[in-house]
């Protein structure tokens, strides 16, 4: 873990202790409601997802160029245990197998991303199109469609061609807008006759903050208080440009939709009767999802971001705000460029007001003047940052409805991880997480939020960025020790299948039977996994020992024959 996240964790812990010590503080002031039995609207789409760098492997195969994640992960000390995505789940070679897993679950859609350097090794359309890379995505799309699974395709899930980082400093440079547009245009040209759902960027918050502010992610730059805002500015412009390209050149023919996938934790005021906490919580959400959603829906950054960053920049003696400014023309070009809003949501924080004097240096985090807290009773089975707080999901969805005029929403990511060493496939806590989060989403639909699809994150265990393989989000367990990367269903596969086949939660009696059934199926997968070392050992016997023995025997027989022949002569 890098210093920034360590600091944030310590900070959270200290605050947690302070707040727990205040006796009259009541965590239960927030009404969390009870379980709601009911089903989803007809046609609601259930899916699962993954992304190129996290699952494909084949990092240097068939003419693929290097991405910033290849370069970053190959540097020592950047990723937990110095792991890389070089092979990951070997998804590049296992399209058929993975589609049969999806088919078995009855998924209606699969969300994946296209690796930019796999189809444009130098990042630039006019230089070199890698037809083998195009063929890989062609096959994937065709096979999904043959199986009646709708592809939802992300154009940028963080793997920028490395050469563009070296030449231009990646998203710090405005040239990226046109280069990304060329890449997107190529994807529309080659795949758009079969793909109807496009997501320009996945989670631009992470690209900006973790890539250019804290440096925990590729390209690993620490341009505090400035770099993230600049990257985000170019990303928003690039998104808008791609939307317009689709709108003017392809929409008529291809009849698809272009959206973006934003991540957003929910921020709940620590004390809901304290105006300063209420405002701090609102700021938390505005600096997170609002940073990107507000320009796309309303044409400009949230007012609160402009005020806070502007004031702090002035106090720091800067001539202009560290938050870049859109011209009037750009604002009207950017406004309304979202056919649907993708939402990736995992967790919630309590938020309280906290002043950070502007003299203490720049940072996105201190610009917000707030502190994040967690309730020690929230379950946190896997990733250190991921607490299970289902009610926060419903609140976030209602916030989006209210703020952005009830847009069409696709839930593009939601799920929970477990720790690396956990090889128990009977993942109770994940079934509970899905049940409760999906139930809150159902309540949000009843509240009138316009949600069309849900994507469980993720189909497979996979490379989890700077955490390497230490955090497993998959419905399917992947045995990374085995070079064939076998997949084993966790209990949550069966549980999610039941939700899908009932299109929701019909009644209590039925729900009770789901868990029992899921546990039954996972016990047998557990046995299979336990036998895996033996099976891989046997694999080694057939792949290495047997051929070696055969060759040796042939050689020995030849020598013996020669010896006999010589004696005769």
Buried b (16+ CB within 10 A) or exposed e, 485-508: bbbbbbbbbbbbbbbbeeebbeee
Note whether 372 binds ligand NOJ by CB under 6 A. Answer: no
Nearer to ligand NOJ, 254 or 263 (CB): 263
Smallest gap, in angstroms, from Cβ of residue 373 to ligand NOJ? 21
Smallest gap, in angstroms, from Cβ of residue 250 to ligand NOJ? 26
Within 104-143, which residues bind ligand NOJ (CB under 6 A)? Answer: none
Smallest gap, in angstroms, from Cβ of residue 262 to ligand NOJ? 10
Nearer to ligand NOJ, 195 or 207 (CB): 207
DSSP per-residue string spanning 325-391:
---HHHHHHHTT--SSEEEE---EEEEEE----GGG---HHHHT-EEEE--TTS---SSTT----HH
Peptide bond into 428 cis (omega under 30): no
Nearer to ligand NOJ, 192 or 264 (CB): 264
Smallest gap, in angstroms, from Cβ of residue 386 to ligand NOJ? 8
Smallest gap, in angstroms, from Cβ of residue 388 to ligand NOJ? 14
Indicate which single residue of 213, 413, 466, 479 sits in contact with ligand NOJ (rule: CB under 6 A). 413
Smallest gap, in angstroms, from Cβ of residue 217 to ligand NOJ? 10
Nearer to ligand NOJ, 313 or 458 (CB): 458
DSSP E strand boundaries for 417-543 = 418-419, 451-457, 471-472, 476-478, 487-489, 504-505
Binding mask 443-472 for ligand NOJ (x = CB under 6 A): ---------------------x--------
Smallest gap, in angstroms, from Cβ of residue 145 to ligand NOJ? 24
Nearer to ligand NOJ, 340 or 465 (CB): 465
- Hey, is 474 helix, strand or coil? coil
- Hey, is 415 helix, strand or coil? coil
Smallest gap, in angstroms, from Cβ of residue 286 to ligand NOJ? 20
Look at the block and give the residue holding tokens 């004097």.
357
Task: With beta carbons less than 8 A apart as the criterion, state whether 91 and 50 touch.
Answer: yes
Nearer to ligand NOJ, 440 or 464 (CB): 464
Distances from the Cα of 4 to the Cαs of 159, 210, 312, 346, 371, in angstroms? 22, 10, 21, 21, 15
Nearer to ligand NOJ, 280 or 374 (CB): 374
Task: With beta carbons less than 8 A apart as the criterion, state whether 217 and 202 touch.
Answer: no
Distances from the Cα of 519 to the Cαs of 257, 344, 479, in angstroms? 39, 28, 20
# of chain residues touching ligand NOJ (CB under 6 A): 9
What would you measure as the largest C-alpha separation in the chain, in angstroms?
107
Binding mask 252-281 for ligand NOJ (x = CB under 6 A): -----------x------------------
Q: Which residues contact 404 (CB under 8 A, 6 or more apart)?
A: 293, 297, 298, 341
Indicate which single residue of 4, 40, 44, 51 sits in contact with ligand NOJ (rule: CB under 6 A). 51
Nearer to ligand NOJ, 209 or 270 (CB): 209
Q: How many residues does the chain have?
A: 569
Note whether 185 binds ligand NOJ by CB under 6 A. Answer: no
Look at the block and give the residue holding tokens 């890449």.
183
Indicate which single residue of 67, 202, 358, 526 sits in contact with ligand NOJ (rule: CB under 6 A). 202
Which position's Cβ is nearest ligand NOJ?
203
Cα first-last separation, the chain: 74
Nearer to ligand NOJ, 181 or 263 (CB): 263
Indicate the burial class of 93 (C-beta count within 10 angstroms; 0-12, 13-18, 19 or more).
middle
Note whether 344 binds ligand NOJ by CB under 6 A. Answer: yes
Nearer to ligand NOJ, 216 or 369 (CB): 216
Distances from the Cα of 561 to the Cαs of 18, 78, 517, 550, 553, in angstroms? 85, 58, 63, 16, 12
* Residues lying near ligand NOJ in the complex (CB under 6 A): 51, 54, 202-203, 263, 344, 413, 464, 473
């Amino acid at each position: 873990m890098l210093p920034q996240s360590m600091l944030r964790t310590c900070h959270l812990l200290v605050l947690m202790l302070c707040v727990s010590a205040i006796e009259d503080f009541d965590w239960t002031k927030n009404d969390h409601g009870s379980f709601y039995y009911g089903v989803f609207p007809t046609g609601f789409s259930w899916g699962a997802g993954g992304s190129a760098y996290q699952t494909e492997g084949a990092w240097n195969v068939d003419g693929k160029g290097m991405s910033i994640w290849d370069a970053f992960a190959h540097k020592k000390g950047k990723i937990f245990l110095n792991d890389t995505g070089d092979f990951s789940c070997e998804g590049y070679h296992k399209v058929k197998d993975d589609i049969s897993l999806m088919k078995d679950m009855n998924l209606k859609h699969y969300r994946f991303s296209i690796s930019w350097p796999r189809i444009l090794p130098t990042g630039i359309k006019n230089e070199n199109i890698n037809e083998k890379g195009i063929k890989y995505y062609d096959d994937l799309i065709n096979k999904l469609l043959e199986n009646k699974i709708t592809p939802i395709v992300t154009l940028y899930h963080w793997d920028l061609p490395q050469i563009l980082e070296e030449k231009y400093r990646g998203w710090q440079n405005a040239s990226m807008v046109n280069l990304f547009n060329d890449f997107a245009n190529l994807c529309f040209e080659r795949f758009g006759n079969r793909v109807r759902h496009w997501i320009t960027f996945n989670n631009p918050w992470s690209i900006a903050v973790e890539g250019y502010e804290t440096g925990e992610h590729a390209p690993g730059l620490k341009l505090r208080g400035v770099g993230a805002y600049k990257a985000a500015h170019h990303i928003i412009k690039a998104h808008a440009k791609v939307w317009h390209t689709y709108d003017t050149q392809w929409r008529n023919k291809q009849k698809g939709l272009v959206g973006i996938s934003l991540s957003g934790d929910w921020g709940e005021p620590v004390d809901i009767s304290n105006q300063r906490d209420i405002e701090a919580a609102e700021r938390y959400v505005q600096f997170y999802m609002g940073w990107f959603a507000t320009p796309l829906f309303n044409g400009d950054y949230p007012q609160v971001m402009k005020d806070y960053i502007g004031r702090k920049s002035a106090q720091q003696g800067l001539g202009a705000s560290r938050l870049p400014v859109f011209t009037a023309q750009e604002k009207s070009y950017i406004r309304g460029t979202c056919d649907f809003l993708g939402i990736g949501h995992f967790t919630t924080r309590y938020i309280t007001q906290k002043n950070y004097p502007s003299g203490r240096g720049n940072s996105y985090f201190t610009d917000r003047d707030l502190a994040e807290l967690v309730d020690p009773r929230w379950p946190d089975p896997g990733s250190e940052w991921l607490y299970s707080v289902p009610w926060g999901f419903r609140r976030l969805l209602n916030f989006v409805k209210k703020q952005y005029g009830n847009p069409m929403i696709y839930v593009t990511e939601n799920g929970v991880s477990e720790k690396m060493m956990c090889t128990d496939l009977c993942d109770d806590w994940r079934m509970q997480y899905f049940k409760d989060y999906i139930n809150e989403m159902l309540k949000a639909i009843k509240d009138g939020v316009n949600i069309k699809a849900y994507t469980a994150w993720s189909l497979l265990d996979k490379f989890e960025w700077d955490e390497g393989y230490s955090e497993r989000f998959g419905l399917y367990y992947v045995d990374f020790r085995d070079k064939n990367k076998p997949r084993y269903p966790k209990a949550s596969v069966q549980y999610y299948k039941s939700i899908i086949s009932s299109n929701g939660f019909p009644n209590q009696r039925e729900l009770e039977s789901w868990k029992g059934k899921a546990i039954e199926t996972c016990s047998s997968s557990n046995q299979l996994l336990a036998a895996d070392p033996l099976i891989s050992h046997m694999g080694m016997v057939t792949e290495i020992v047997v051929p070696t023995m055969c060759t040796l025997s042939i050689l020995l027989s030849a020598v013996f024959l020669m010896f006999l022949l010589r004696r005769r002569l």
